Amino acid sequence: MVPMPFRITRVIREIPGVYTWHLKPLDGKPFHYRPGQFNMVYQFGVGEIPVSISGDSREPDTLVHTIRAVGPVTNAMQELHAGAVVGIRGPFGRPWPIDEVVGSDIVFVTSTIGLAPLRGLIYEVLHRRQDFGKVIICYGTRGVDDIMYEQDLHRWRARFDTNVHLTVHSAPSGYRGRVGSVNAAIRAARPDWSATTAFVCRSEALTRQAVDTLGELGVTKDRVWVTLERNMQCAIGLCGHCQIGTTFVCKDGPVYRYDQIEHLYSVREF
C-alpha cells in the first residue's frame, strides 16, 4: 500500500515527549476506520512507524495520532509543525469489539500514554451511551505533569453517566486529587463486576497486575480485552517483525481477548 499524503493541521504538546497531530488528507476524501486500529505513519526521507489512531471515528475528515518521541523517527517527527505533509498507510488491525459487549458495564484501565489507543473507543462508547451499563475510566500517571488529554478528562468527569477515577503515583503538597495506584482505583470503582467488560492498555507487566485485580473482583479473563504494541513494518503479517509465537500483532491484533493470548506473556521475546 502506497502512503497517502496527509497535511498536519494542528500540533498539540500533550506532556513532555508526547505530541498529538491532527491531519487532513490532501485528496479531501474521508478516512474511515474503527476504534483500536492503527496506521503506518511515514515521514518522507526519515522513516515509518506504527501509531494507533486516537481520534473520533465519527469524524472521518480529521485523523488524529498521538506519538511519543522515543527513537530517531519519532524524534524527527516531533520537529514537524502545522503545514507539514506526511504519509499514511492504513487503517490496519483488529478493532475493539464494541458490538460484542453491548449491555455490559464498561471499565477502561490505562496509564499515561496508554489512554491514546483507548480514546477512540471511549468516544464511541459515549456516542452509544444507551447501549451500555455503567462506564468507568480508571486512569493513572506517575505525576500531575503526565496527565494526557486533560480537556477530555474534564468533559468526561462532568458527565452524569460516566465515572472517571484519575490517580497519580506522586503529587505536590496541596494536590486534591487521588494519589495511589491504578489497581486501587479499580477497586474503588463500583460496576456490576459479574457483568463487566474491561478494556486495558498498559505495559505487559502492569496489564497482568490489572487483570489479576479484575479477576479478584469477579471479571473473568474472557471479559478482558487488551492491546499489544510491537515493532511493525509491513502491517499485513508478511515481514514477521511483530510475530509473537504464532500470532502477528499487526494482522491478528493489536486488540486481543486476554484469555486467548495470556500464554504469550511467557514467550521469551515478549
Binding-site annotation, residues for [2Fe-2S] cluster: 234, 239, 242, 250
Helix ranges restricted to H, 128-232: 150-158, 182-188, 204-217
Q: Are 136 and 187 in contact (CB under 8 A)?
A: no
Bind-site residues: 234, 239, 242, 250
Closest by CA position to 89, among listed 253, 229, 232: 232
Residue 30 CA to residue 27 CA, distance in Å, equals 9
Q: Which three cell numbers stand for residue 29?
A: 476524501
Phi and psi at residue 72, to the nearest 5°: -60, -40
Q: Which three cell numbers stand for residue 165?
A: 477515577
Q: Are 143 and 175 in contact (CB under 8 A)?
A: no
